[in-house]
Amino acid sequence: MKQLLEFLARSVVDHPEQVQVEEIVSGDRVLLRLMVAKEDLGKVIGKQGRVARAIRTVVKASAIKDGKQASVEIVD
């Protein structure tokens, strides 16, 4: 899931080298913390949060496929 989130985020931003994902595992729950450059934050969130919502949906679907629960937190 971490690699999936990194791939999705790097596809959207202008500075892909600054994309970082921190994975915190607690049993069957996974928290993914996404950090991007300040100027790319708006691109990751999107208008009215649409891009962020889409990224979260894809990551959650991937987690369910693996039998886990995942949540994505975008850190500024």
Q: What one-letter code names the amino acid at 37?
A: A
The full DSSP string for 6-60 is HHHHHHH-S-GGG-EEEEEEETTEEEEEEE--GGGHHHHH-GGGHHHHHHHHHHH
CA-closest candidate to residue 19, choices 50, 33, 61: 33
Beta-bridge partner residues of 74: 34
* Residue ranges of domains in the chain: 2-75
Average pLDDT over residues 28-43: 96
Q: What global pTM score does this model have?
A: 0.91
CATH number listed for the domain at residues 2-75: 3.30.300.20
Residue 76: predicted pLDDT:
84
* Residues 6+ away with beta carbon under 8 Å from 13: 19, 36, 37, 40, 43, 44
Whole-number percent of the chain with pLDDT over 70: 100
